[in-house]
Structure 1
Amino acid sequence: MANLTGSSLRSHFLCNSSNFATTVLSLFACCRKRQDLRALNALLIVNGLIEHQSSIRQFITNCCHLGFPDLALSSFKTVKNPSLSLQNLFLRSLCDNGLFGNVLSVYEMCRNSGSFSDNYTYPFVIKACSALSDTGCGESMHCLVIRDGFGENLVVQTSLVDFYSKVGEMGNARKLVDEISQPDVVTWNALISGFSFNSLDDEVFRVFHKMRYMAMRPTTSTFASLFRVCSKLGALDFGKSLHGLAYKLGYAMGESLVPALISTYANSGEILAARNIFDA
């Protein structure tokens, strides 16, 4: 792609619309960097292929797979009736790259064009509402989820639990979990993380004990939230018990838990124990 310029390609290929479109499609596999995609986008515009739907869809797909969805924002607007898979791919990539404002605008555009949504679509949009602390938008999405028949989908429900937790509405988050017939560990983790995030420390421990009562196996995310609370409260005895359980389950030296473990012991005055964990 180093020599990908309009002049060199025109001199090398036939420039009628059909043949040139086929040629451009063959170039997508060569794209590896941001500048490659920029050059290809310019090529599409200069040669009038911005309305060529298969080329544009492929360009958007490549931008998403390479982690540069922002380069495809203007191109996506030209897609007539984007498929559900393309919509979800684009929303996911925008979400993964922290372009949350664009997630909402792209979703609204798709919705207005008559595109459908599914249980993969909603979590990306709800996550964007969480990241932007947009309570009104999140509540509207909750209504849409129920209206569209996804109110009992566990993945969507969990994303709503996380949303209400992030905007400080723990009553709604807890109510949602209580309404789920079979919440999984991800749902419980979202609730525990929410209570921890909102400094409702007693509730963190209550939810954890309920998880254990239900024979739910905690994960590294569960322990990370619990150790943060133990560290803040200086609850060394409970922290040691958790450390033992984490070790028993094979999580004790997990990369995400080590900083929380060190903090728990250090904040309780157990500097030697904290140093031993660090050295290990």
Structure 2
Amino acid sequence: MAPASNSILSPQGEVITSMNHAHQIHAHIVKNGGTQCNTLPLTKLLSFTPLSSCGDIRCTNLIFTSMNSPTTYLCNAIIRGYAGSTTPEKSILLFCALRELGVKPDHFTYTFLLKACSSLRATAEGKQIHGLVCKAGLVCDCYVQNSLIHMYCRGSELSAARQVFAKMPERDVVSWTSMMSGYVANDRSLDALLLLKQMEADGLVPNEATVLAALRACADLGALSVGRKLHDFIRRKGFDSNARVVTALIDMYAKCGRIDLASEVFDGSPRVDVFSWTAMISGLAIHGLCESSLECFARMQSLEIQPDEMTLTAVLAACRNAGWVSEGMKLFESMEASYGVIPTIQHYGCIVDLLARAGQLEEAEKLIEAMPMEADAVLWRTLVWGCRLHGDIARGERLVKQKLLAHETDDSGNYVLLCNLYASAKKWQEKARVRKLMKARKIEKPPGTSMIEVNGTIHEFLAGDSEHPEAGKIYAKWDDIAERLRLEGHHPKISEVMLDIEDEGKVLSLHHHSEKLAIAFGLIKTNPDERILIVKNLRSCEDCHSSMKLISKIYRREIIIRDRIRFHHFKNGSCSCKDFW
């Protein structure tokens, strides 16, 4: 007499521990006719093979196709397995086939399908599933609604995600965290922090995932005071035992200009992994503490912690920021042999930038041409920037026209680069022609923005901004600053201005750059002994850089500016970058 199916695997019996074990159990089930009914062992198998870390989705498919009339529960098991696999689209195709067979989905089915859509960023399919959710009467199901929010955020449809969020009758911490994470991932970190305030006002307590999203938002914005409050909360809740939280704290403090506090977190935490080491190495590098960055890397190696590709990117960035060509090339050339890491385009980007800044433009161009992958626009722009820096206008002009404008005719960055090249060579007519071409094609330079945190509130300024409630005081303060700069012998670098206007207008345009408005506001609103931190979205221009050096001397203030590339610490008339950026 054949043994009962549940004697093979029961809730109290043996537990599947490997795929070999699963194959043995499946063979026994087939031998005893167990695939003809929805046995408990079969259910257990379908739960293990797609979801376990040692499972196999192909085996799951073989088991599933051998079954007659599978239940919704078993269908969900394989849909879930495909949704979390490298081929999530199969979960959607399977769902369509199962609907034809009359299998009825439940709320779990939709959460797994929406996870697949999120992985694929398949918003169109996600919207169709959203329609089925509404027809199924699941608009009040918190799990399904949270999955919808996540799917829309992953597809960068924040308005749709916010509509789902706003209509939810009840929201849990996952709802708030999903919406916050979506804002952060789509460059709307200020909205994320506003949502955090609303969440706390509603009486919900953030969990570790919420804290991670909030710390990323603080890092993006330079919101130090909010970040420090979060750190206090993390200590009270004991979240600082989580290595991911430790890494996020290190990153937040480093990007908020407090590399000293980042070091304190790193040195004081017993739970640091490769990601924490990478955050610390990267933080030191962007602050220009490149020797300390390489020393940190050496410590990491002495503890036999294997670096990953992000770690090596951070080390190469340190070499780039310091101008250490030989050290950078040595690491780059030994990456695969020493660490098993094949160079990616990010690693090539660091080396191209390093060579270009050092004036080795021919070597940088040859390296790009010899890359095993196609170079992107960022790499070519990096090299063109080096051409401008070292006066090789002919090479820069050729590269812009052949490598950039030939492929990306509508990208304003390419035209701006060409204008800057001509301006540095004082080729005003050529620059004017590029400006006319931009105007004819309706291509506009993206506005420079700068943010400053004062008393826990983030203030954002655009170039020429007059929308701020205290705009009158800010411009009056800048006029005072500009006069003091003039008395110190500062001459505005009008070649930085792309507009076809008189020199007086160009000076006015320079005076109204976003970081200058932010520094004027900071000088008005902060105490004389406070450091001023400004976060901007673009690389610092030469005029702003030289102005900040003098302002730090005139007003005896420490000014920290984080631009798109690195930090600049201005103090007593000098900058930590040593004018190398």
TM-score when normalising by structure 2: 0.41
Contact in 2 for aligned 1:83/1:115 (Cα 8 Å): yes
Structure 2 residues not aligned, in runs of 5+: 269-581
Corresponding residue of 2:21: 36
Shift of 1:123: 0.5
Contact in 1 for aligned 2:71/2:103 (Cα 8 Å): yes
Q: Output the amino acid matched with 2:198.
A: K
5 Å-filtered alignment, 1:91-240, equals 91-97=79-85, 99-240=87-228
Corresponding residue of 2:41: 58
Q: Deviations over 1:21-60 (max 9, x none)?
A: x488755548532133345556767x595853356x7345
Higher helix share: 1
Shift of 1:111: 1.9
Q: Deviations over 1:182-216 (max 9, x none)?
A: 21211011100000111112211121111122222
Residue range with higher mean Cα deviation, 74-83 or 131-140: 74-83
Contact in 2 for aligned 1:227/1:264 (Cα 8 Å): yes
CA–CA distance in structure 2, aligned partners of residues 33 and 133 of structure 1: 32
With a CA cutoff of 8 Å and minimum separation of 6, indicate the structure with the bigger relative contact order. Answer: 1
Q: Output the amino acid matched with 1:157.
A: Q
CA–CA distance in structure 1, aligned partners of residues 170 and 212 of structure 2: 23
Shift of 1:75: 2.6
CA–CA distance in structure 2, aligned partners of residues 37 and 252 of structure 1: 39
CA–CA distance in structure 2, aligned partners of residues 164 and 30 of structure 1: 38
- Amino-acid identity (%): 24
CA–CA distance in structure 1, aligned partners of residues 158 and 125 of structure 2: 17
Higher strand share: 2
Classify 1:116/1:274 alpha carbon distance in 2 versus 1 (closer, same or farther; 3 Å). Answer: same
Contact in 2 for aligned 1:69/1:90 (Cα 8 Å): no
Residue 87 (str. 1) matches residue 106 (str. 2): no
Classify 1:148/1:248 alpha carbon distance in 2 versus 1 (closer, same or farther; 3 Å). Answer: same
Shift of 1:223: 1.2
Counterpart pick for 1:247 among 235, 243, 263? 235
Residue range with higher mean Cα deviation, 64-73 or 128-137: 64-73
Q: Deviations over 1:221-263 (max 9, x none)?
A: 1110111122223222221122123323443443331100011
Classify 1:212/1:48 alpha carbon distance in 2 versus 1 (closer, same or farther; 3 Å). Answer: closer
CA–CA distance in structure 2, aligned partners of residues 210 and 135 of structure 1: 27
Classify 1:31/1:226 alpha carbon distance in 2 versus 1 (closer, same or farther; 3 Å). Answer: closer
Contact in 2 for aligned 1:185/1:218 (Cα 8 Å): yes
Contact in 2 for aligned 1:227/1:239 (Cα 8 Å): yes
Corresponding residue of 1:10: none
Contact in 2 for aligned 1:162/1:194 (Cα 8 Å): yes
Contact in 2 for aligned 1:82/1:110 (Cα 8 Å): no
Q: Deviations over 1:138-162 (max 9, x none)?
A: 1110000011111221111111011
CA–CA distance in structure 2, aligned partners of residues 122 and 30 of structure 1: 29
Corresponding residue of 1:277: 265
Shift of 1:108: 2.3
Q: Output the amino acid matched with 2:183.
A: F
Q: Deviations over 1:66-125 (max 9, x none)?
A: 522511203312323221222223333444455522322332232221111222221011
Q: Output the amino acid matched with 1:176.
A: V
Structure 1 residues not aligned, in runs of 5+: 1-18
Contact in 1 for aligned 2:190/2:217 (Cα 8 Å): no
Residue range with higher mean Cα deviation, 258-267 or 90-99: 90-99
Q: Secondary structure at the match of 1:116?
A: coil
Classify 1:186/1:54 alpha carbon distance in 2 versus 1 (closer, same or farther; 3 Å). Answer: closer
Q: Secondary structure at the match of 1:79?
A: coil
Q: Output the amino acid matched with 2:258.
A: E
Shift of 1:64: 2.4
Classify 1:200/1:25 alpha carbon distance in 2 versus 1 (closer, same or farther; 3 Å). Answer: same
Contact in 1 for aligned 2:156/2:186 (Cα 8 Å): yes
TM-score when normalising by structure 1: 0.81
